[in-house]
Amino acid sequence: MMNGNRFWTVFVREVQSAVRTRTYIALGVVTGIVLFGLAYAGGGPAGGYVPTVVDTLVAVEVLVPTLAFAVGYRAIADPATRGELDILDTYPLSTWSYVGGVYAGRALLLLTIVVVPLLALGVNVATTAGPETTVFASHRGVDSPFLFIRFIALTVLYALSSLTIAFLLSALAGSRGRALVLALAGLLVLTVGSDLAVFAALDTGVTTGTLGGALAMTPAGAYRGLVFDQVLYVAVPGRSAFVPTWVAALSLLFWWGLTFVGAMLATDAA
């Protein structure tokens, strides 16, 4: 069997397992309720796409890594605990095929939980907001569905990066108990710890002039900066970038690639 076929077999197994797990359906429903509740509490859907992003951005910034860790924190730890990784050594299944297939299956599950409620919210905005929101933005100062699609695309990138971090910690854990502890610690660092570390560094060399670049080095700061620069500031004439766009984009790709390779190496060593 070719490596591609082995990858596909693992991927299908993960998807079938996810479909049978009702907990994931509950996560999707809760995510939808939270996003719609926050958006309507702030009045975003009646105001347009950009006001809706403003109302939900902070929640999405916390929800996405939380869901990613909920989906991925036991992805490698469970098979390691059951001894499956040792059995896999007797089969012609490469670490790339196994970790890649598990990751692809969990990523599809995570993106379904995150993207479907956001798309539903975007459709809701399209049917309830004023007629000016139906114009596609070609210059600054115009709200449009294109900006909301950008928001979803950036959220997808953030979700995939968060999931690889969860996979790395799961592979390093080696047991369900340590996986839970590492997941909670990793989630805390990812959501607030990295930003706090950057602000704390203001006394040790980071200046206000380099603060944007420093914030872009963390996954949460990079995601937030890209949303501000590519979504919110597009509709606000005269606003400068929150963080360097290219640094923030490379930062998310770097975290995704680094932690994915780390997860494979840790799984290989488990």
pLDDT in tens, 136-160: 444 455 678 888 999 999 999 999 9
18 or 122, which is more confident? 122
- The pLDDT of residue 178: 84
What's the helix, strand, coil split of the chain in %, to 5?
80, 0, 20
Helix locations, 48-144, DSSP H: 49-72, 77-82, 84-88, 95-128
The pLDDT of residue 7 is above 90: no
**Could you tell me the pTM of the whole model?**
0.87
The predicted-structure confidence for 55-110, as pLDDT tens digits, reads as follows: 899 899 999 999 999 998 888 888 888 777 776 667 777 888 888 999 999 999 99
d(CA 178, CA 76) in angstroms, rounded, equals 12
- With bands split at pLDDT 50, 70 and 90, how would you rate the model's confidence at 117? very high
Q: Is the per-residue pLDDT at 2 higher than 90?
A: no
